[in-house]
Chain A
């Protein structure tokens, strides 16, 4: 299993290096920093999404859920649409990247915190009730977004459309640095909970019996998931579907329950998929599509395969 993990990590490094170095033009001082920035953004978001999805699936004991069920993506979409609808596409919150990043991250986190502040304080404290409410809220936000988009001026809608799909093509380097710091800090914070993850995967009753502080761990981990998803979505756009794909591939490929192996494996697969996808988009499709379209297409096929397999078992 360790050997498989090593292969994966080597492959991730090779793919990233290929992305940076292959076809490097002679005036590399322009292309190189741009490519490095892209790879850095991919490493960050790919890693964050893979990790967030893995712990989310462990927390819910479900292999076909992604954190998008609690409606974070819809909050992002609604906010972006709302700004364009009210202030126009050339307004400050839409054009100023810092303001936009800060506001969207803040809003998504606020939503996540409110969601479970409100729910965990009540009797029941059921994780699945929280997911259900998240799902309903997500649908509500989704419908409101569609409603606003229908009313928007078509030219403005084109600007908005750019934000609806993840893109690594114009990532702001200052935001990249800020996100990197935040993601690394969150990663360090959540590390002390990693040892509980294997046991959490046995389900609540076994976890409590084996001395895991269940309630606290679920709360903290949900916050970590919300933070990671918020930051990566605000940075490049919604790509949470990717998480479902890579985490399941990691389970399949590594064939273990141990999160100490699963975490690096899913991050590795995520990086390979995103860097590889981005290479396809740039060199094969020459930017005629975006990486999230590719990921959603492949992810969707894999999702159907998963559903068919589960229903047969």
Chain B
């Protein structure tokens, strides 16, 4: 379980995360939504120790992240940021094999390779596994990186805008995979997402941030609500129920 307590992060004297406290439930998809510059990605980076915080604590399984051994933590929690540029020429399978580093320290056993190939199959990349990353489209690249995170096999998976640059088909595919990770493998998934309709259709809980603070927090049914969304985004977002899904119709 992840607990965030009174976390503050300042950039040049200005708080980008302002005294945020939050508990992320296990075995659920939690979505961070909110306008640009709300601090969603920053909060995700702090939870995953990629960024230092100015004050407050992040507890994972009741233990402060700064007290965790970084290798042990890498078997507990994984993060994928939105821009992933790598200077090396790697094949998909080589990239995914890096996901096993916390376990193998670079010397992969047969079992590790099984995890790698399963993760590749999970993301439907088996046909492309020996292709180089620079020969793949943006969407295929994104799926390869997610496969690496799956191979890392952590209880908690943090994804920063996983649908960035993806077309509808691949967006749906990735959201379905995340749903399967939660339901079949019991993972805890936290995503930063801009499309409130994807958040509505696939997540269990939603946390809304604005100006570095949590403004709303609750189940998807509670948050995907016309008045609440209007207060977050400062624009009218009427909600329609289509096939049992709550869809915001804000395009006009």
- The verdict on A205 contacting chain B, using a C-beta distance below 8 Å, is yes
Residues of B within 8 A of A62 (CB): 87
- Tell me if B71 and A211 are in contact (CB < 8 A): yes
- The verdict on B63 contacting chain A, using a C-beta distance below 8 Å, is no
B67-91 toward A: CB 8 Å interface, digit per residue (1/0)? 0001111110011110011111110
> CA A63 – CA B88 in complex, angstroms?
10
Count of B interface residues, CB-CB < 8 Å: 28
Residues of B within 8 A of A229 (CB): none
- The verdict on B113 contacting chain A, using a C-beta distance below 8 Å, is no
Known: A205-B50, A211-B101, A257-B94. A198 touches B70 (CB 8 A): no
Known: A61-B87, A208-B50, A257-B89. A199 touches B70 (CB 8 A): no
B89-105 toward A: CB 8 Å interface, digit per residue (1/0)? 11000100011011001
Rounded to whole Å, the gap between the CB of A306 and the closest CB of chain B is 13
Rounded to whole Å, the gap between the CB of A215 and the closest CB of chain B is 10
> CA A208 – CA B71 in complex, angstroms?
9
- Tell me if A209 and B86 are in contact (CB < 8 A): no
- Tell me if B87 and A211 are in contact (CB < 8 A): no
Rounded to whole Å, the gap between the CB of B176 and the closest CB of chain A is 24
> CA A208 – CA B73 in complex, angstroms?
10
Rounded to whole Å, the gap between the CB of A55 and the closest CB of chain B is 15
Known: A198-B106, A201-B88. A209 touches B94 (CB 8 A): no
> CA A12 – CA B168 in complex, angstroms?
55
Question: Which residues of B line the A interface, CB within 8 A?
Answer: 48-50, 70-75, 78-81, 84-90, 94, 98-99, 101-102, 105-106, 152
Sample (20) of A-B pairs whose CB atoms are under 8 Å apart: A61-B87, A62-B87, A195-B105, A199-B101, A201-B88, A202-B86, A206-B98, A208-B48, A208-B70, A209-B50, A210-B74, A210-B99, A211-B74, A211-B101, A211-B102, A213-B70, A255-B89, A257-B88, A257-B89, A257-B94
